[in-house]
Amino acid sequence: MMGPAHSLSGAAAWLGVGAAAAAAGHPMPWPVVLVGALICAGAALAPDLDHKAATISRAFGPISLWICEIVDKLSYAAYKSTRKPGDPRRSGGHRTLTHTWLWAVLIGAGTSALAIAGGRWAVLAILFVHMVLAIEGLLWRAARGHSSDVLVWLLAATSAWILAGILDKPGNGSHWLFTGPSEQYLWLGLPIVLGALVHDIGDALTISGCPILWPIPLGRRRWYPIGTPKPMRFRAGSWVELKVLMPAFMLLGGLGCAAALNVI
């Protein structure tokens, strides 16, 4: 799928988690609902860091392009070193390592560890990066082009600073779900894991499928492209994505938000 659909699906997924948490007796404070949805919207773009034309690879200028090259080479190396006889030969790492459940879990766990070890400045960095991605994804057309990059970064930095201050206030969510004295912001890894997995599921709906289950082998393949039955798949950016899925994500996100905030 394309960037806007990925970001919308990520936001909708977190709002759905908020509705489920409220029903289970662990309601999210409204800042957690908001911040988690934005982080998840940004994290839903992150697996495409292995592709130089992706939104995330262009979001931070030369820095993200340089990271993209490293991730692409790392992903390709992982593919070559672990492929089985049934896996085809390929020349790049797109839709391999970063499109797996294992990558999603490791990135989420790393984010939680960084938030705990680094304190406020680490939280600000995590929020800033994902605010940039959320703006780029949700406001895709408005945020395109090098001339708008600085404005996006300024908006993301301002939003990160304000939201971090709100979350720090007692009862606003810094200790949501994890209440131990050393578990502040441990939950930040959850929307990142969810965003990555939602991205993978979205790509599994397209023609190419997605090797979500790696490194679990399936028959003669370790990088099996999981997906829906082939007649049900569509091309990224097609009318199915624009006219069916994106409105559905908006509707589901709105319902999830209302349920998470106990409006319905």
Q: What is the mean pLDDT of residues 17-24?
A: 94
Predicted pLDDT at 195: 97
**Per-residue pLDDT tens digits for 154-213:** 999 999 999 999 999 988 888 888 887 778 899 999 999 999 999 999 999 988 899 999
Distance CA 211, CA 213 (A): 6
Looking at residue 28, the DSSP 8-state letter turns out to be: P
- Whether the per-residue pLDDT at 143 is higher than 60: the answer is no
Residues 6+ apart with CB under 8 A from 222: 82, 83, 84, 87, 214, 215, 216
The total domain count for the chain is: 1
Q: What angle do CA 98, 100, 101 make, to 5 degrees?
A: 125
Percent of the chain with pLDDT over 90: 66
Per the structure, the complete domain to which residue 139 belongs is given by 3-261
Q: What predicted TM-score, i.e. pTM, was given to this entire model?
A: 0.92
Q: What is the mean pLDDT of residues 135-154?
A: 73
Predicted pLDDT at 231: 82
Predicted pLDDT at 144: 58
- CA dihedral angle for residue 79, residue 80, residue 85, residue 87, rounded to 10 degrees: 40
Token look-up 């082009």 returns 145
Take residue 29 and report the two structure tokens written for it. Answer: 């404070």
CA distances from 79 to 71, 85, 97, 153, 208 (A): 12, 12, 7, 34, 16
